[in-house]
Every structure is written in C-alpha cells, then in structure tokens.
Amino acid sequence: MITIKSKKEIELMKQACKLTAEVHKEIEKNIKPGVSTYELDKIAEDYIRAHGGIPAQKGYNPGIKGVPAFPAAICASINDEVIHGIPSKNVILKEGDIISIDLVALKDGFNGDAARTYIVGKANSKEDERLLEVTKQAFFEGIKYAVKGNRIGDISHAIGEYVEKHGYSVVREFQGHGIGKEMHEDPGIPNYGKAGKGPRLEPGMTLAIEPMVIMGKPYILELDDGWTIITEDGSPSAHYENTILITEKEPEILTLI
C-alpha cells in the first residue's frame, strides 16, 4: 500500500532527511586514502546518534532465510561492488577507488535515505569521473517526471534511457522505493521501464529514487556474506539516491542541504 503523508508527517520526514544529508557531509570530509570503511561507519553512527537518530540499516533483517541482519550503519561499496558492501577494518581506501555510501537515518519514527558515490583522491581515469556524473544526472533526469499526475514508469523510463544513451547499464534486480515510517514501502521504483506505466504520483508521496549504474554489462553477483552485490564482469559501478516528496508542483528533494 502506498502511503500519503500528512503535513505533520512530512515535517518529520524532512528532519530525518536533513540528518541523513548531514551525515553524508561528515562522511565526505573523511573519504581519503588510508581510511578504513569501518572508520566511516563509526563516523556515521556516532553522528546519527548524537543528533537524536538511529542508524536504521544497522540490524536490519531482510527476512530472507540464511541472510544475517546487516551489521553496520552504512553500506560502503567499493569499485565493482554495486551496493550493500559491509564496512570493515580490513578495507582501506586507496587513491582512485570509487566508493558508494548508502545510509538511512531514522528520527522521530521516520526514515531518510540517500546514497552518494565518491572518488578517493584523484580519479584513475576520466571514464571513472564520467560514470559518477552520469549516475548523478540520471537521478535528476528521472525526477523531472516526478510530478503530480505522472506515473512511476515515467521516472523509471527517463533514468534507464539516460543511462543507456551514455553507454552504461542500469541494475535491474534492485530498485528505488517508497519510504516513510518503514525503510522500504510501496511503490517499487525500477531504474528502467515503460513510460505511462505503474502507480500514479500524488502529492504527499515520499520516494527514494536511486539509479545504480554499471560501466559494463548489467549482470551482477551476490557474495557469500548474503549482502554485497558486485558486477559480474568486474567493471566499476556508481550509486546516487535521494528521498523526494511529490508536491502540487515540482518535486522537493529532502536529502540535499
């Protein structure tokens, strides 16, 4: 069921999303060679808790047999890791690494969700830089259609078309989603599809739109940890996400400050 948020609920959503954006700013300051993903995770958790929130991903149980609860406050995915990378003291950032950080902050009963991808230090290539640019822009191409009366498929189609036009692939097995009191709510929001399909957009909907883009072919694998998703061909990937609000006019991005 798709939830339409009240004015009061939207204000609470905005506070959770503001905290999420602030955490990303704190993490970004510390992304440099020699830093472990465990350190980034600790920075995120400490900041969230110090500001009255809860790291919603920590302890998240997907309800899938054999898959353990997620052990960290952030997902930290490097190079060919697409999403859900688990932070570790043994994973040390190197010059030129591509790192995607995905995090959810829960505050006053509502969730804010956003992902960013960074290059550690200096990029290894112009193509790596272009991957990040296209992934980020794909989000903005998608939300051009996130307006009252349009459909979810209009967003999905715009994202997929933009990514593929630039020679990259979108991940098809994972998608964006509604968000609110629950981290994952209806509707699902694929990064590909046909325009004019899917639920109609209404003011009060809050959605997490998140292009996940692979430089190579669109095939993925899951590691034995039950969480980390990697590209099958070893090519790098990027991830960009914001929580948005559907309004009477233009969409409002809640996780940008």
* pLDDT tens series, the chain, 257 aa: 999 999 999 999 999 999 999 999 999 999 999 999 999 999 999 999 999 999 999 999 988 888 899 999 999 999 999 999 999 999 999 999 999 999 999 999 999 999 999 999 999 999 999 999 999 999 999 999 999 999 999 999 999 999 999 999 999 999 999 999 999 999 999 999 999 999 999 999 999 999 999 999 999 999 999 999 999 999 999 999 999 999 999 999 999 98
Q: 244 has which bridge partners? A: 207, 253
In which domain, by residue range, is 234 found? Answer: 7-253
Task: State the pTM of this model.
Answer: 0.97
Whether residue 95 is contained in a domain is answered as: yes
Whether residue 2 is contained in a domain is answered as: no
CATH number reported for the structural domain that contains residue 157 in this entry? 3.90.230.10
Tokens of 131: 């991957």
Whether residue 1 is contained in a domain is answered as: no
Whether residue 54 is contained in a domain is answered as: yes
Total domain count, the chain: 1
Q: Cα(115)–Cα(82) distance, rounded to whole angstroms? A: 12
Q: Cα(110)–Cα(162) distance, rounded to whole angstroms? A: 31
Q: 245 has which bridge partners? A: 206, 252
Whether residue 50 is contained in a domain is answered as: yes
The beta-strand segments (E) located in 124-196 are 169-170, 176-178, 185-189
End-to-end, the C-alpha distance of the chain in Å comes to 30
Whether residue 111 is contained in a domain is answered as: yes
Task: Name the amino acid, one letter, at 126.
Answer: K
